[in-house]
Structure 1
Amino acid sequence: MNTAEMFSLTQEMEKSWDNEFQELVKALPKEDGWIGSHLYFYQGFWCPALVLKSFISFQKNFQAFASDVILATFPKCGTTWLKALSYITLYRSHFARDENPLLSSSPHRLVRFLEYDLYLNNPFPDLQNACAYEPRLFATHVPYASLPTSITDSNSKIVYICRNPLDMFISLWLFSTKLRDNNLRPLSPDEAFDKFYHGIYAFGPFFEHVLGYWKASRENPNKILFLKYEDLMEDTNSHLKNLAMFLGVPFTEDEAKQGVVPEIVKMCSFENLKELEVNKKGLHASGIPNADFFRKGEVGDWSNHLTPSMVERLEKLIQEKVNNSGLTFKLSCKTSRIFHPS
């Protein structure tokens, strides 16, 4: 599926909305999205037209099990990596080490999105058969405040990963450029920056999304594990051990002796995943080519793209948004530059 076909799919999705849903949508603020299709402002965030109806179906109909694990992320913050690490860690006892499912399936196929996949064309999908093993493992980009109450009020667990907003913006802009409708002129860096600054992008605003999970994780750390992309890059082994402990499947002494942790880290590394044949071809359920989910995965790449004035404006925005929250962002691994709001 090329970009024109994906854009056409989104248009067809909007046309297929029934009258009742059309009436709901009419009352929502609407903006042009980064790839050309519409964004609708719903429950405090900008929802892509492609998944607006599936998100509402997910929100209304999903019934969480106490054992469920939900991987929650903001787009372009390490979703693919987190899916790979979580899947192999949680289910490692179900397959031989030389039969790793990542060798034959995309992380997005192994850990399926709720709004972008399972509920996309079915308000009541077969969730039990959507997961090869138990406990069930799903993914979502939905903000914490908009999650189904069966998730927030149950004993299910949430793993959230965030990324510094400068790198996230660059990754989002370049990703969107690949997907943008070919019939539209390219989205310039200045236009993208203006939309980003004002929070107008899929599942934005970014800071409200991150802070929702950050505050919830501080209130209930046994339910929500809050990870930072930069910390995970810096010491993947230690954070993987913490992830396994949080998921209730800690690594054993025998596994430590056998080198299972570094083996999983290597298997799930950006470099390895990017070179696997399964990730070089094929499509995600939303129509996005698997290869488009892999670019650089670096920390600090923003310095190659952002102007000094852009950096200054974003740092002021970070200061304004996360001040007094306790949340900090590491902007570069090389310099260990950390942005601490005063």
Structure 2
Amino acid sequence: MSLYWRDWPVPLHSSAEVLAELAENFQFYDDDILVNTFPKCGTTLVQEIVSCLVLGPERTRTTDLKLRSPFIDLNLPPELPVPRPIDGAKKLDRPRVLKTHLPPAFHMRHLVAPSGPRNIIVMRNPKDAIVSTYHHMTSARRDELSGVPQEFSQFWRMMLGIPGGAENTEIVVHDFFDFNLSWWSMRRHSRVLILFYEDLIVDKTAEVKRMAEFLSTPLTEALLHSVLQQTSFSAMQSNPMVNITLTDPERWRPGSNFIRRGEIGDWKRHFSAEDAELVDGIIEEKLAGSGLQFRYE
């Protein structure tokens, strides 16, 4: 399998073939809604909120998230007896809520068009994003993750591409800063809404209202109540429609959970003071002059 599509590294979850189809041939519609994030930055939470707003709370309670909001850039081994998510998306009724982990370069075909899908981008502070990705990649039982460093100090270095991060691994991830800065540069686009995971944790009501307004969805008090109740951390952690560790436990190591903490500041439990200071310097350098700022506690 090619590690690149054109000049872009193919992330671990995808393939050059799937990326080419998305960028060149996949039919997007004006009423599509793309929930787009760097991995482990609030994707599932926002998918569920948007699904409740657009498809209705009842459907979200009875239909698996993977089916009603497919991960369109996910590549599946051909031997699996299930359709690729990109093929499942083609059969969905409209409007469609679609999940993706791709930078805007893969969406330029519709971003530069006069009309096209709406894009909800979720960003999270890099230190918590790294911690969440670490737990996800070290908890999942997948052959392609066998090269993931088990030591956190090595893992975060791998994620940020600095020495000491298992340089020989074949694990490919998109650059956190390139991903977020490229979407940040699109923040004034009329069909792009940027959310921050930390804002969702601190004031979910306000962020749900922002999403509803962006999607032109009438938000009654009853619907708002349902959304807030259904997307609470405890509700989502116990919901087999969204928590894949409940429906596919053999793919996860004992004691792990796909919906793990849902909080701000978990990085403090993982980074040493010295490493946190080093990462702060990297963040400051990468974000300099962009205006992009994150909340860390």
Tell whether the structures are fold-level matches, with TM greater than 0.5.
yes
Query: CA 1:301 to 1:245, structure 2 compared with 1: closer, same or farther past 3 Å?
Result: same
Partner of 2:175: 205
Contact 2:125 2:294 in 1 (8 A): yes
1:58 aligns with 2:18: no
Unaligned runs of 5+ residues in structure 2 are: none
What is the Cα deviation at residue 327 of structure 1? 0.8
Matches within 5 A, 1:132-143: 133-143=93-103
1:189 aligns with 2:152: yes
Partner of 2:258: 293
Matches within 5 A, 1:56-205: 56-92=20-56, 100-116=58-74, 125=87, 127-129=89-91, 131=92, 133-147=93-107, 149-153=109-113, 154-179=115-140, 181=143, 187-198=150-161, 202-205=172-175
Contact 1:241 1:250 in 2 (8 A): no
What is the Cα deviation at residue 134 of structure 1? 2.3
Partner of 2:7: 43
What is the Cα deviation at residue 186 of structure 1? 5.5
Query: CA 1:54 to 1:76, structure 2 compared with 1: closer, same or farther past 3 Å?
Result: same
Partner of 1:330: 295
Aligned match for 2:246, one of 251, 266, 281:
281
Contact 1:69 1:159 in 2 (8 A): yes
Query: CA 1:151 to 1:187, structure 2 compared with 1: closer, same or farther past 3 Å?
Result: same
Query: CA 1:151 to 1:125, structure 2 compared with 1: closer, same or farther past 3 Å?
Result: farther
Contact 1:60 1:148 in 2 (8 A): no
1:303 aligns with 2:264: no
What is the Cα deviation at residue 151 of structure 1? 4.7
SS in 1 for 2:153: helix
What is the Cα deviation at residue 232 of structure 1? 1.0
Query: CA 1:118 to 1:183, structure 2 compared with 1: closer, same or farther past 3 Å?
Result: closer
The TM-score, its normalising length taken from structure 1, stands at 0.72
Q: Distance in 2 between matches of 1:298 and 1:106?
A: 24
- Please give the per-residue CA displacement for 1:131-180, whole angstroms capped at 9, x wherever unaligned: 2x422221110111222513542332100001000000001011110125
Contact 1:237 1:262 in 2 (8 A): no
Q: Would you say how many aligned residue pairs link Structure 1 and Structure 2?
A: 278
1:243 aligns with 2:215: no
Q: Distance in 2 between matches of 1:122 and 1:236?
A: 32
Give me the identity figure in percent.
Answer: 25
Partner of 2:196: 228
- In structure 2, give the amino acid aligned to 1:230: E
Contact 1:72 1:161 in 2 (8 A): yes
Partner of 1:35: none
- Please give the per-residue CA displacement for 1:306-334, whole angstroms capped at 9, x wherever unaligned: 111111111111111111111100001xx
What is the Cα deviation at residue 60 of structure 1? 1.9
- In structure 2, give the amino acid aligned to 1:271: S
For the aligned residues, what is the CA RMSD? 2.9
SS in 2 for 1:158: strand
SS in 2 for 1:76: coil
Query: CA 1:157 to 1:119, structure 2 compared with 1: closer, same or farther past 3 Å?
Result: farther
Q: Distance in 1 between matches of 2:77 and 2:112?
A: 19
What is the Cα deviation at residue 262 of structure 1? 2.7
Report which stretch shifted further, 176-185 or 310-319: 176-185
Contact 1:48 1:202 in 2 (8 A): yes
SS in 1 for 2:236: helix
